[in-house]
Amino acid sequence: MGTFCSVIKFENLQELKRLCHWGPIIALGVIAICSTMAMIDSVLWYWPLHTTGGSVNFIMLINWTIMILYNYFNAVFVGPGFVPLGWKPENSQDSMYLQYCKVCQAYKAPRSHHCRKCNRCVMKMDHHCPWINNCCGYQNHASFTLFLLLAPLGCIHAAFIFIMTMYTQLYNRLSFGWNTVRIDMSAARRDPLPLVPFGLAAFAATLFALGLAIGTTIAVGMLFFIQMKIVLRNKTSIESWIEEKAKDRIQYYQLDEVFVFPYDLGSRWKNFKQVFTWSGVPEGDGLEWPIREGCHQYTLTIEQLKQKADKRVRSVRYKVIEDYSGACCPLNKGIKTFFTSPCTEEPRIRLQKGEFILATRGLRYWLYGDKLLDDSFIEGVSRMRGWFPRNCVEKCPCDAETNQAPEGEKKNR
């Protein structure tokens, strides 16, 4: 009883409001529809009480549902972990390597970033996900990734049940030339008849659930592969953009240096263990991180300070070469662009050929930045901010906007 009371606290109950959002409502709705229909169709197709196979099938289905919901709620309620308010490094001299957050009244720990939705600095922030209405970061990265793995696997199982149920139920009612197919239908013929009649409504519901299962498998499966690439490199999507801008800065100023990402431990297995552990608790404390040999604990934060000081790399200028309607998942921009649309509530920018964009961060097929609403690229002018496809723009050559340095200064920086 004491353990139960320690879990049910006022603060935890307050977190329930995270479910009152379109993302969790849709996600839990899809899980509920697919799970419920799969269980009903399992009774119709493969009666669980008469055969061992039917029992195993039904138990596996329940197991998928429990594991999916467990990891989903972990990702929602455990959260990413936030930098303590007022935090500062133990060694006061290290604060010179860190950015200061005025909102949290604290220094940003290595790998942390401020989330405008959560209104806190998030440890090892990857992104704010609307489907869990929370950030994906240090503490819930493993649960979030496992959810992305288990959801497609469960949907594949459910889709198989839906297909077999429709096939077995329609086998003796309709003739589409199926009599040439050799499938053992003994499991479908039993006495007494099924408790749930398979009428037109049940057929329509099963077909709808099948569409949801297939769509979820494709969409969530692709997100899983993206997350696994990040995990195996021990890198977040934000850090990937910082690394890209670091290479751009070095190339532009013709510097005799190579930027080495400090948190890639050189082994995929070692990187994997930084997120996934047997205890379920990630390695470290979210404030200090193991680094590869030859790097500094603040290598990445120092690079961020350089980019912040260098106005040219704070935003990279792009020219629009192809119109974009502002659609969330544009079909006419390529299949990869369609399926890798950012899972965020941030808006998309409508683009017209010839316009200019200042990109501040991005993904492989998408960029995020500002579209200035007049011809002058001056700090403080009116602008529109959001996401847009990378294949609609091209990087501009160095000009006045990039604050091009003289040849001598390039080599000296």
Residues with catalytic function? 129
Round to whole Å and give the CA distance between 58 and 131: 28
Round to whole Å and give the CA distance between 46 and 53: 8
Residue 242, judged by CB atoms within 10 A of its CB (0-12, 13-18, 19+), counts as buried
Instruction: Indicate left, alpha or beta for 386 from its phi (over 0: left) and psi (-120 to 50: alpha).
Output: left
